[in-house]
Amino acid sequence: MHYYSDARWYAIRVKYRHELVVEKSLTNKNLTPLNLTFQTKGKGRNVKKTLVKPFFPGYMFVQTELDRHIHVEILKTPGIVEVIKNSEGPVPIPDDQISNIEQLKDYKGKVYSFTEFATGMLVQVINGPLKGLFGRIDEMHKKYIKLSIDSIPGAIGIQIPYDDLQTI
């Protein structure tokens, strides 16, 4: 496995909703994590709550002089799944891309996350007259998702706005 001798940024994949735990653990290990978050209004029963969500759910970044020992230490951190790599080893993120990401720290507008849903994913409707309905994502569009609903005698398709769905 190939490692670089200087400090670079690396993307790491973390378990679902473990970003804050991983961030604290990496900081305690004297590493430099980057986990950008934003505030949004809750959905469903949490409508009155302000939630803090990550810009990149399931991913964050860490800056380090990565070697075999540090790589293992990162992987031993609770909540970390992997350091993103290719066949040659961990892939560093270019500094200009990290600079772009860091500009999001001061952003106050609405955030549209398209990584939350993926084709084939099982979801549940949480708002509207179809609340409680389960389905699989067939297609994703800018303002809505097409769901496939299993029924007798076959499957049907419906369109649902992103805000009315949650992942299972």
Phi, psi of 100 (to 5 degrees): -60, -45
Model confidence pLDDT, tens digit, residues 72-111: 999 999 999 999 998 889 999 999 899 988 988 877 777 7
pLDDT at 133: 85
Structural domain boundaries, residue 162: 122-167
76 with 153, same domain: the answer is no
CA distance linking residue 57 with residue 53, whole number of Å: 8
pTM greater than the 0.85 cutoff: no
- Percent of the chain predicted with pLDDT > 70: 92
Domain end point (choices 80, 106, 132):
106
Strand pairing of 80-83 and 155-161? unpaired
14 with 63, same domain: the answer is yes
pLDDT at 122: 85
102 with 157, same domain: the answer is no
3-state secondary structure of 40: strand
How many domains does the chain contain in total? 2
**Is residue 113 included in any domain, yes or no?**
no
Q: What is the CATH number of the domain that holds 78?
A: 3.30.70.940
CA distance linking residue 26 with residue 38, whole number of Å: 20
Check whether 20 has a pLDDT greater than 90. yes
Q: What's the Cα-to-Cα distance from 91 to each of 4, 5, 11, 80, 99, rounded to whole Å?
A: 10, 13, 8, 16, 17
94 with 137, same domain: the answer is no
Q: What is the CATH number of the domain that holds 160?
A: 2.30.30
Question: How many CB atoms are closer than 10 A to CB 141?
Answer: 9
Q: List the structure tokens of 55.
A: 């810009």
